[in-house]
């Protein structure tokens, strides 16, 4: 590479390290990029469709959707699918971590244990690799971003939503997304967004904050960043079906009353979500590394390799629960015995219909 | 109390806020089952009274609209459990809510799937097959059971101008969803079914079947005696 290609050699005092960014760029492009995106939300919110729409691919080619009876027995699973996509010579190794079974059970108390374990495991593995002797090929499988899907059918966040987000907001970047937004009118969307933001603040949930545009960026970028920040949580509609609308073929959903266009900013925030993900992929990785991973690492090293006494605490809890249950059963037996006694006595007593005091 | 064409009807709507909202929803149908049985009990007590009213006030639940979430996938475990327990004590009409989130194909597929799941799990929703009185009823109800139900509905109390008429609907940037337009959703079918054709039958099935089942069970539990015995026990209590 001749310096002449990249700069003005006539300027005196020119050394040539201004070429560094280009070198970094070339190396990164050669190496390729890695990104791990986790999607969490109850079944039927359009998560898979949205992921396929975002990355214009089909990550779930042979999918079988289980029925309700099967879902009763199922626990939360973790399914990671990796796909290598390339655009203009730039390679992206994208891993999408799906969490089927989340929110399905009648009792969702243990819903998030599996998910949190998975996130911690990736941190653990990275820590292990980072501390190892051969650090040439550390693979980064840490979760860089979590899209949390909120149902548009309710009136805001559900209890489960709040509890889950509070449990992972110190481990992963949360991007809340309102799914199936084509069921909401524009006014309903604004109301729902505001309500969700208020609830997030009330509960102290830390979601991913887009960094403000730097002062030296151009106005367009600054405006775009402002718009993105103002639209969170994003209301999205996903689809990979091509529909004919206004003379062109667009990706959308065809209803008897009209066509919802996925890439129309007046119909939903899909484009905003995609823009945010693309322009902030780097930042999402950095925050994961500098904040979430470092948190994990310092906690882990402080503990010195021992697992927290979670197990002991759990055993105590289980004992307390069993004692409470025993007490309840004893009370129930006492009540039944009392009832039986009364029934036996009333068989001998006279039958005047005077109202007594209610037992 | 509402009136139409000289006919007065006392309508009671019972809402169940909080159903399914907890993280642990085990047995969340119990308070609902309890309420329904309490109404049967109230009616029974009045019926067995010596000096009973000529027209017993009927607070029994004649119809339960169960709202299914339009996931497009299948029923949720909670839906199955609820309907399994409650279809034995009350007329359940499953309804797919917010149907404007599904395209026509998705709707058809989802309805088929839900119907199959209900069948496989032995859930008899209203109109129950075993209560069809004659062939005419059977053919009419079969069609409803196998094709229309569960009704996919959209609701709205706002009106918009469409083609010169004022219609109930929902306004979106890509069109107006007309609630009473059968090509848009099945609200009109649900309304006609519950109000215009099967209202009386809902009451009759409640009285002749669900209530009688409850009554029989109560009498059996009391050794064939009507629940007057309850008063006696209480009386005895106060004598102690």
Average pLDDT (A327-331) is 84
Average pLDDT (B100-120) is 93
Q: Is residue A145 part of a domain?
A: yes
CB contact under 8 A, B26 and A107: yes
pLDDT range class, residue A350, cuts 50, 70, 90: very low
CB contact under 8 A, B234 and A256: no
The yes or no reply on domain B33-219 and CATH 1.10.645.10 is: no
Distance (Å, whole) CA A102 – CA A110: 9
CB contact under 8 A, A71 and B74: yes
Contact B172, A255 (CB under 8 A): no
CB contact under 8 A, A357 and B238: yes
Residue among B21, B76, B232 minimizing CB distance to A346 = B232
Give A-chain residues touching B229 at CB under 8 angstroms.
346
Q: Is residue A55 part of a domain?
A: yes
Average pLDDT (B90-104) is 93
Give the residue extent of every domain in chain B. Answer: 33-219
pLDDT tens by residue, B134-160: 888 888 888 888 888 899 999 998 999
Q: What is the pLDDT of residue A3?
A: 47
Contacts of B114 (CB under 8 A, 6+ apart): B68, B74, B75, B94, B96, B150
Alpha carbon separation from A232 to A119, A190, B214, B220 (Å, rounded): 24, 10, 52, 60
Question: Domain total for chain A?
Answer: 1
pLDDT tens by residue, A73-110: 677 888 888 888 887 778 888 899 999 889 888 888 88
Q: Is residue A174 part of a domain?
A: yes
Report which secondary-structure segment, H or E, holds B201: helix B199-205
Contacts of B186 (CB under 8 A, 6+ apart): B99, B148, B151, B152, B153
pLDDT tens by residue, A25-59: 888 777 788 899 999 998 889 898 998 888 887 77
Q: Is residue A326 part of a domain?
A: no
Could you report the predicted ipTM of this complex, rounded to two decimals?
A: 0.79
pLDDT tens by residue, B182-238: 999 999 999 999 988 889 999 999 999 999 999 999 988 877 666 654 444 443 333
pTM (2 d.p.): 0.79
Number of other CB atoms surrounding residue A278 within 10 Å: 11
Q: What is the pLDDT of residue A103?
A: 87
Return the minimum-mean-pLDDT range out of A203-207, A342-346, B25-29, B30-34.
Answer: A342-346
Residue among B75, B174, B235 minimizing CB distance to A352 = B235
Return the minimum-mean-pLDDT range out of A224-228, A350-354, B93-97.
Answer: A350-354
Q: Is residue A9 part of a domain?
A: no
Beta strands B165-172 and A79-87, pairing class? unpaired
Q: Is residue A59 part of a domain?
A: yes
Q: Is residue A81 part of a domain?
A: yes
Give B-chain residues touching A255 at CB under 8 angstroms.
100, 103-104, 174-175, 177
Q: Which residue of A has its CA nearest to B227?
A: A353
Q: Is residue A45 part of a domain?
A: yes
Residue among A45, A259, A359 minimizing CB distance to B234 = A359
Full domain range(s) for residue A193? 27-236+268-287
pLDDT range class, residue B106, cuts 50, 70, 90: very high
CB contact under 8 A, A185 and B170: yes
Whether the pLDDT of residue A355 is over 50: the answer is no
Give B-chain residues touching A111 at CB under 8 angstroms.
23
Q: How is residue A4 annotated by DSSP? A: G
Give B-chain residues touching A353 at CB under 8 angstroms.
228, 231-232, 235
CB contact under 8 A, B77 and A104: yes
Domain CATH number, residue A111: 3.40.50.300
pLDDT tens by residue, A252-310: 999 998 899 999 998 999 999 998 988 888 899 999 999 999 999 988 888 875 554 45
Residue among B70, B71, B177 minimizing CB distance to A257 = B177
Q: Which residue has better confidence, A310 or A61?
A: A61
Q: What is the pLDDT of residue A12?
A: 67
């Amino acid at each position: 590479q001749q310096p002449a290609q990249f700069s003005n050699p006539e300027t005196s005092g020119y050394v040539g390290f201004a070429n560094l960014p280009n070198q970094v760029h070339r190396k990164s492009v050669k190496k390729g990029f890695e990104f791990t995106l986790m999607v969490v939300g109850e079944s039927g919110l359009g998560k898979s469709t949205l992921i396929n729409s975002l990355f214009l691919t089909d990550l779930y080619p042979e999918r079988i959707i289980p029925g309700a009876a099967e879902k009763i027995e199922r626990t939360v699973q973790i399914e990671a699918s990796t796909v290598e996509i390339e655009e203009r010579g730039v390679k992206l190794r994208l891993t999408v971590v799906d969490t089927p079974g989340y929110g399905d059970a009648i009792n969702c108390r243990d819903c998030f244990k599996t998910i949190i374990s998975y996130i911690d495991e990736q941190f653990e593995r990275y820590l292990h690799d980072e501390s190892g002797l051969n650090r040439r090929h550390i693979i980064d499988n840490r979760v860089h971003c979590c899209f949390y899907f909120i149902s548009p059918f309710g009136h805001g966040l559900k209890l489960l939503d709040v509890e889950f987000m509070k449990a992972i907001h110190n481990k992963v970047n949360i991007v809340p997304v309102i799914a199936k937004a084509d069921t909401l009118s524009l006014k309903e969307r604004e109301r729902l967004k505001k309500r969700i933001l208020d609830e997030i603040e009330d509960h102290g949930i830390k979601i991913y904050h887009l960094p403000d545009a730097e002062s030296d960026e151009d106005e367009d970028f600054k405006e775009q960043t402002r718009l993105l920040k103002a639209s969170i949580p994003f209301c999205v509609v996903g689809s990979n079906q091509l529909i004919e609308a206004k003379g062109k073929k667009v990706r959308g959903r065809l209803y008897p009353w009209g066509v919802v266009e996925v890439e129309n900013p007046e119909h939903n925030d899909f484009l905003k979500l995609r823009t945010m993900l693309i322009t902030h992929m780097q930042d999402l990785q950095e925050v994961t590394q500098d904040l979430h991973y470092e948190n994990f690492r310092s906690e882990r090293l402080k503990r010195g390799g021992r697992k927290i006494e979670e197990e002991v605490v759990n055993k105590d809890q289980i004992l307390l629960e069993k004692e409470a249950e025993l007490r309840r059963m004893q009370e129930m037996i006492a009540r039944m015995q009392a009832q039986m006694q009364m029934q036996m006595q009333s068989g001998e007593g006279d039958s005047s219909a005077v109202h007594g005091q209610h037992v | 109390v509402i009136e139409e064409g000289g006919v007065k009807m006392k309508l009671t709507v019972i809402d169940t806020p909080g159903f399914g909202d907890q993280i642990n929803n085990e047995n969340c149908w119990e308070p609902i089952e309890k309420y329904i049985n309490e109404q049967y009990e109230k009616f029974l007590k009045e019926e067995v009274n010596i000096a009973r009213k000529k027209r017993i006030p009927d607070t029994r639940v004649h119809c339960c609209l169960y709202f299914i979430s339009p996931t497009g996938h299948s029923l949720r475990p909670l839906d199955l459990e609820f309907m399994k327990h409650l279809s034995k004590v009350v007329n359940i009409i499953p309804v797919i809510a917010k149907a404007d989130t599904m395209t026509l194909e998705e709707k058809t597929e989802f309805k088929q799937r839900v119907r199959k799941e209900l069948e496989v799990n032995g859930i008899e929703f209203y109109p129950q097959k075993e209560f069809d009185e004659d062939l005419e009823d059977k053919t009419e109800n079969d069609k409803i059971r196998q094709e229309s139900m569960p009704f996919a509905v959209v609701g709205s109390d706002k009106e918009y101008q469409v083609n010169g008429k004022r219609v109930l609907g929902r306004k979106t940037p890509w069109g107006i969803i007309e609630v009473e337009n059968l090509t848009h959703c099945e609200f009109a079918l649900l309304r006609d079914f519950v109000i215009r054709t099967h209202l009386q039958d809902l009451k009759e099935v409640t009285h002749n079947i669900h209530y009688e089942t409850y009554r029989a069970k109560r009498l059996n539990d009391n050794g064939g005696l009507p629940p007057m015995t309850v008063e006696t026990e209480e009386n005895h209590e106060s004598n102690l």
